[in-house]
Structure 1
């Protein structure tokens, strides 16, 4: 009877014991790790004039951004003891208009793993670089559909593949740097797919990128400076078809709070040594962010691109009203104007088109939700 009883109990006992054994490691991992799922969904409708040489306008639902680019992300930490943490980030861009992924990759916004401690953090992978971080507080419009991102499409796409990343904040001083062995593995085209995978035997300079940052920031004011140089290789976009070709940006940015208003300004100096020759430009911007009411914020920005040795300049003026329906949800309206001169053909909306030398006006209405 005892043997028979054990045999009849065994089939049910074994799955339960196995489930308990499998659950123990999982519970241990959950106790030590913290993983957050987060994201932004931002979409709207935009109308712009003079989208071609004939002066035709267009109404569309933008793909790249509204007030912020849409995204889905996973961020995790594990406590390793003595103040040291393991960290990771996986973040993909989304086109709410079509449901497509952004940046031509599964995790095109970020994919990195690293360590974080009192000395700062170091990580490996595809990551934002120091140009991206340098303008975050001074640029009041950020990656809005109408913003300085339209003048320099690299700014919201300042990320590097195959990069070693360091960032440290010591009281009010921040320092950071990235070094990429191959800055962009995608050949899909556009600012997020410039076809420079690098890591070429016998050509250590091919597709390398170096960025650096130094900043002093407090609550009422701050200033930051960054340096960014990327090299090319055969087949790379933007005329950087040799490792001897380069695209360099140096930025100086600052912000100050005056009462409830925050003012931000900066200059971005760019020098491109491409197969087509040397091109140099300065991009100046200044803006203000002011809460008209507790739930209503006005942002405005004026920017000017000066193309050296040419009359192909451009001037941007944009204003945005944002009404916060809750802590996570907001609706907004943007008005913008891009005045092109000479042969300049910079579109008001990021990723859009405009007739050469034409002034373009635009209106954007949208809804944004954080989760």
Structure 2
């Protein structure tokens, strides 16, 4: 049987349309970051080095349209040390490893994921988002919480500028600082954004039976400067009360951003200051993907060893792709 050109043309057009529709139904994004700096870490020995400014990473995320507003979603993220090419931790997909469904009901995922208290209340309060030598990570976490939990079930729902999220995880793979998991960890978080105002709350219950960490944060963007504040309170694995404060300011200057913060973490039961620091930095965007930066931080705490540096700094470059 002979097929003429007039017969083949509609078939070719139909196949092309079907191929295009199939491609439109699913999408995968490859992304990553490489970030290195010349740095001296505060609260550490004198050891000037090429250091990872923030977590260098390679990730894949994607969606598949299942119809009727339902989507399948996934994300996997590898973390590595760009200074020597080694893995950050033993887990290869340490950053994230999740799969789930998303629709009008919200988003449900399983796997290794950031906890909602960190995502919506802790990290947004830090102008450095817990990166570089100026990170306020120990203050916003109270040295109680953690960034991610493995073997978790996660739910998130967003509407009208408000986002609420919840997470519960197995004890397996989520050992607390005390070394032994005795409780199933869970976390709650929420945020609301309206105009120049952003508010967030979080509650985290790690895997130790005594510890928990509650936080609240907020910011107001005046245009020339954005001011923020954070408060955290809870108990550590030794059942001792911890309290934290953080105030911050960010201001656009040229193609860059000036950042500043002051914060403190204190053990209320022993009256010991565990962390107190002031940080200042400027991050300049060479392009939408490449940033050069310089930060300085002065840190002190009670019983700090004499051989540890109280001042840290970094000068670095970050490229996102």
Q: How does 1:211-226 map to 2 (within 5 A)?
A: 211-226=187-202
1:100 shift after superposition:
1.4
Q: Equivalent residues in 2 for 1:204-353 (5 A)?
A: 206-232=182-208, 245-272=209-236, 274=237, 277-293=238-254, 295-313=255-273, 314-341=275-302, 343=303, 345=304
CA distance in 1, matches of 2:195, 2:143: 28
Look up the match of 2:31. Answer: 38
**Structure 2 partner of 1:11:** none
SS at match of 1:112: strand
Moved over 3 A (4+): 25-31, 48-52, 150-157, 193-196, 356-359
Shift of 1:150: 4.2
Q: Distance in 1 between matches of 2:91 and 2:227?
A: 35
Cα displacement string for residues 180-206 of structure 1 (whole angstroms, at most 9, x for unaligned residues): 123635x8xx97x9664xxxxxxxxx4
Deviation at 1:102, TM superposition (A): 2.1
Task: Report the 3-state secondary structure (helix = DSSP H, G, I; strand = E; otherwise coil) of the residue aligned with 2:235.
Answer: strand
Q: 1:137–1:264: 8 Å Cα contact kept in structure 2? A: no
For 1:212 and 1:311, locate their aligned partners in 2 and report how far apart those are by CA, in whole Å.
29
The aligned counterpart of 1:10 is: none
Give secondary structure in 2 for the equivalent of 1:231: coil
Distance in 1 of aligned mates of 2:308 and 2:47: 15
The answer to whether the Cα contact below 8 Å between 1:320 and 1:333 also exists between their aligned partners in 2 is yes
Distance change >3 Å, CA 156–CA 327, structure 1 → 2: farther
Name stretches of at least 5 consecutive residues in structure 2 with no aligned partner.
Answer: 1-17
Aligned counterpart, 1:140? 127
Map of 1:3 onto structure 2? none
Tell me, in whole angstroms, the C-alpha distance in 1 between the residues paired with 2:247 and 2:204: 21
TM-score, length-normalised on structure 1?
0.74
Q: Aligned residue pairs: how many? A: 302
Q: Is 1:362 matched with 2:307?
A: no
SS at the partner of 2:93? coil
Q: TM-score, normalised by structure 2?
A: 0.85
CA distance in 1, matches of 2:30, 2:226: 30
Deviations 1:238-279 (A, max 9, x none): xxxxxxx3321101011110123211211121302x4xx422
Give the superposition deviation at 1:80.
0.8
> How far is the alpha carbon of 1:137 from its aligned partner?
3.1
SS of residue in 2 equivalent to 1:278? coil
CA RMSD of aligned residues (A): 2.8
